Structure 1
Amino acid sequence: MPHHSRLLRFLIPLCAILLPAHAAAHDPEQAEWSIAIHGGAGTLQRDAITAEREAAYTTSLQAALDAGAAILRDGGTSEDAVLTVITLLEDDPLFNAGRGAVLTWDGGISHDASIMLGADRSAGAIAGVSTIRHPILLARAVMEDGRHVFLSGEGAEEFAGDRELERADTEFFITPSRQEALERFRASEVAVEDDEHRFGTVGAVARDRAGNLAAGTSTGGMTGKRWDRIGDSPIIGAGTYADNRACAVSATGSGEYFIRAVVAKSICDLMLLSGMGPDEAGDNLIAEVEELGGSGGVIVVSARGETAFSFNTSGMYRGRADSNGVNEIGIFADED
């Protein structure tokens, strides 16, 4: 299939040719609030996951979704809902963020995170930190400080020193399963479980009762990453974006391709400039990622409260809820 430029997608939005992707949208009658979450996308096959493991993921996703939904239901902000979801998932060793993040080539930890608010498009991002228990809260601190958007490495750690953020030793974040995964990766014997999390991420997008949107993403990056590699998760416009005029997006997948396609911002642009819904816009950009050779997915919430998932992998840990009574959790592609 020939590559279609983003400009062409704007000019002929309803005729865009899509590569196969799994997408599902929820189009409520102006939901007062709504939220969507993800815990990464990858090679997720039913016959390769035990019933106990599936139940553990479902339970964790539901708990995080319920916590975020409760904040919105009680009149809280989209920002607080997103932060609540992500901090819970960062503490859950099942997911590739915070505690349980995948390991770098040398066996260390390198967290990336970002957050953006749709009301004024304020944003904060950090990369390459290893001592902050909740990287997403450090990204929020950068946003609130306002002088910069993106801090990394030693500078980000130094900035954190003046903030009341909980610290943790490197050992706190490392789990036996991630150590084993790194050993297999080094030996070029990547198992399904490793591939399942190699590009994993956690994220959330939300619309609150005031109509404000927020998006956040947090990750440990790629198993075995080297040279201080940074993916799309902390990059505003690639892995995270929010604009009250259009949508909020959090992405997960092979970050190099999401960066090249500027996925999150492009989805919002398609919705703002062409009138596309979140499902169609998400599908277009996942198609573009696939054209480039990448895989992964996105969660999207629109200014109207519509929620959508789009992904070209065999599964994505995900969930959504809204004021109209929707409450769904999914793992595999055929659950939509």
Structure 2
Amino acid sequence: MTALSSRFAALCAAFAILIAAPLAAQEAPKWSFAIHGGAGTMSREAMTPERRAEYEAALQAALDAGAAVLREGGSAMDAVEAAILLMEDDPKFNAGKGAVYTWEGRNELDAAVMDGRDRSAGAVTGVTRVRNPILLARAVMTDGRHVFLSGAGAEEFARDKGITAVDPAYFETDARREALERMKAEQVSALDVDLKFGTVGAVALDQAGNLAAGTSTGGMTGKRWGRIGDAPVIGAGTYADNRSCAVSATGWGEYFIRVGVAQEICTRLRLSGRLALDEFAEAASADDEVGSAGGVENVALTEGLVQSVADDVMAEVAELGGDGGVIVLAPSGVAVFSFNTSGMYRGRATSEGVSEVAIFRGD
């Protein structure tokens, strides 16, 4: 047998093992889910026990909503939508009701979704009357003619699709109004009045092995001139690809756009998976045997690898001067969080019984 044919045979055997593993897993379907509600400068001392309990309850409710969909065999996209809907309706987060104000005193909302099966995606920016922008983003994706709609055109599309509209006053809250007024009066930046980036997001792996991601936000306090952050930008704040991962980000959007954070993480993981497969095939060829199914562990995207890649990309954001965080979910079900701030509202749940929420670093 030539070296080329031997290598081809080893690769085929390696792929056979990878295919066999998911088939065996069908006997016990696996799913995984993670959410975030923003990252930022948060102090344990400044947060009262009552306030912390409120946030933890809100995170748990969103986590439970998505987990219930997956547990019952629903799609990853449905799980993402279920969780984000709750957070968009909760004024504690900067998405939907409770969104921050623009410099002109408006609430302008952004959202995006992406399906890892075929990399179909939908995004909207600058909407002011759509109660749940995540529903509009998904409608854009489902319609399929475009990926990204903005402003008045996105609002018109929402009306055509029968998506619930509200008076812009619905989104207003006293706390967000006060933040804008303080920003103007004290001539400070959005980072000085926004203690956290309250963008919300979710990533899911369903029982069929499909990934999905979604993100929704009101942007940054005092944003001007139609500013768009990373959340609705496919590849910056939102990305999903069954070959590598699903990502939702929160943070200083300008830097996440410049790094292309979400797709950068997925691309690095996809290439890392290919490299691991090549190494596995070479080892099998050298030993003149494929080995057992345990060899698949050398090919899978392990928690350590996923965490390392996410941390490396977030380090690039920090080097440029930005901060924030990401949730990353791999096809293996591994879910990790990476953030360069003192806290990040987050949670994860799995078919293995994990169900946890956290706020501060070290939780």
Provide the TM-score with structure 1 as the length reference: 0.89
Runs of 4+ with deviation above 6 angstroms: 190-193
Q: Does structure 1 conserve the Cα–Cα contact (< 8 Å) formed by 2:179 and 2:194?
A: no
Could you tell me how far 1:180 is from its partner in structure 2? 0.8
Q: Does structure 2 conserve the Cα–Cα contact (< 8 Å) formed by 1:35 and 1:307?
A: yes
Could you tell me how far 1:195 is from its partner in structure 2? 2.4
Pairs within 5 Å for 1:104-253: 104-188=102-186, 194-197=193-196, 199-253=197-251
CA distance in 1, matches of 2:208, 2:192: 41
More helix by share: 2
CA distance in 2, matches of 1:191, 1:280: 30
Taking a change above 3 Å as real, the CA distance of residues 56 and 113 of structure 1, as seen in their structure-2 partners, is same
Q: Which runs of 5 or more structure 1 residues have no equivalent in the other structure?
A: 1-28
88-97 or 159-168: which moved more? 159-168
Taking a change above 3 Å as real, the CA distance of residues 113 and 163 of structure 1, as seen in their structure-2 partners, is same
Could you tell me how far 1:31 is from its partner in structure 2? 7.4
CA distance in 2, matches of 1:162, 1:318: 35
CA distance in 2, matches of 1:83, 1:193: 31
Tell me the alpha carbon deviations over residues 89-145 of structure 1, each in whole angstroms, 9 at most, x when there is no partner. Answer: 000000000000001111101000000000000000000000000000000010011
Q: Does structure 2 conserve the Cα–Cα contact (< 8 Å) formed by 1:206 and 1:213?
A: yes
Q: Secondary structure at the match of 2:362?
A: helix
Q: Does structure 1 conserve the Cα–Cα contact (< 8 Å) formed by 2:237 and 2:249?
A: yes
CA distance in 1, matches of 2:68, 2:260: 32
Root-mean-square deviation (CA), in Å?
1.6
Pairs within 5 Å for 1:22-171: 32-171=30-169
The count of residues paired between Structure 1 and Structure 2 equals 306
> Equivalent residue for 1:279?
307
Q: Secondary structure at the match of 1:267?
A: helix
CA distance in 1, matches of 2:192, 2:352: 36
Could you tell me how far 1:159 is from its partner in structure 2? 1.1
Q: Does structure 2 conserve the Cα–Cα contact (< 8 Å) formed by 1:232 and 1:255?
A: yes
CA distance in 2, matches of 1:184, 1:333: 28
Taking a change above 3 Å as real, the CA distance of residues 171 and 193 of structure 1, as seen in their structure-2 partners, is farther
CA distance in 2, matches of 1:196, 1:31: 40
**Alignment partner of 1:304 is 2:332:** yes
31-40 or 261-270: which moved more? 31-40
CA distance in 1, matches of 2:162, 2:198: 28
**Alignment partner of 1:288 is 2:316:** yes
Q: Does structure 2 conserve the Cα–Cα contact (< 8 Å) formed by 1:48 and 1:192?
A: no
CA distance in 1, matches of 2:136, 2:241: 21
Alignment match of 1:324 (pick from 337, 349, 352): 352
CA distance in 2, matches of 1:295, 1:190: 15
Q: Secondary structure at the match of 1:215?
A: strand
Q: Which runs of 5 or more structure 2 residues have no equivalent in the other structure?
A: 1-24, 274-300
Could you tell me how far 1:190 is from its partner in structure 2? 7.0
CA distance in 1, matches of 2:249, 2:203: 10
Q: Secondary structure at the match of 1:161?
A: helix
Q: Give, as a single letter, the amino acid of the residue that structure 2 aligns with 1:196.
A: L
Could you tell me how far 1:186 is from its partner in structure 2? 1.2
Could you tell me how far 1:194 is from its partner in structure 2? 3.1
Q: Secondary structure at the match of 1:85?
A: helix
CA distance in 2, matches of 1:302, 1:215: 11
Alignment match of 1:257 (pick from 255, 278, 303): 255
Q: Does structure 2 conserve the Cα–Cα contact (< 8 Å) formed by 1:31 and 1:304?
A: no
Could you tell me how far 1:193 is from its partner in structure 2? 8.6
Tell me the alpha carbon deviations over residues 190-239 of structure 1, each in whole angstroms, 9 at most, x when there is no partner. Answer: 79993223x32000000000000000000000001000000000000000
Q: Does structure 2 conserve the Cα–Cα contact (< 8 Å) formed by 1:31 and 1:305?
A: no
Taking a change above 3 Å as real, the CA distance of residues 304 and 94 of structure 1, as seen in their structure-2 partners, is same
Taking a change above 3 Å as real, the CA distance of residues 31 and 301 of structure 1, as seen in their structure-2 partners, is farther
Could you tell me how far 1:329 is from its partner in structure 2? 0.4
Q: Secondary structure at the match of 1:226?
A: coil
Taking a change above 3 Å as real, the CA distance of residues 192 and 51 of structure 1, as seen in their structure-2 partners, is farther
Q: Give, as a single letter, the amino acid of the residue that structure 2 aligns with 1:58.
A: E
Q: Give, as a single letter, the amino acid of the residue that structure 2 aligns with 1:292.
A: L
Could you tell me how far 1:69 is from its partner in structure 2? 0.4
Larger Rg: 2
Q: Does structure 2 conserve the Cα–Cα contact (< 8 Å) formed by 1:217 and 1:251?
A: yes
Tell me the alpha carbon deviations over residues 40-92 of structure 1, each in whole angstroms, 9 at most, x when there is no partner. Answer: 00011101111111111000000110111011001111000000000100000
Could you tell me how far 1:147 is from its partner in structure 2? 0.6
Q: Secondary structure at the match of 2:106?
A: coil
Q: Give, as a single letter, the amino acid of the residue that structure 2 aligns with 1:307.
A: A
Provide the TM-score with structure 2 as the length reference: 0.82
Q: Does structure 2 conserve the Cα–Cα contact (< 8 Å) formed by 1:184 and 1:191?
A: no
Taking a change above 3 Å as real, the CA distance of residues 250 and 162 of structure 1, as seen in their structure-2 partners, is same
Q: Secondary structure at the match of 1:245?
A: coil
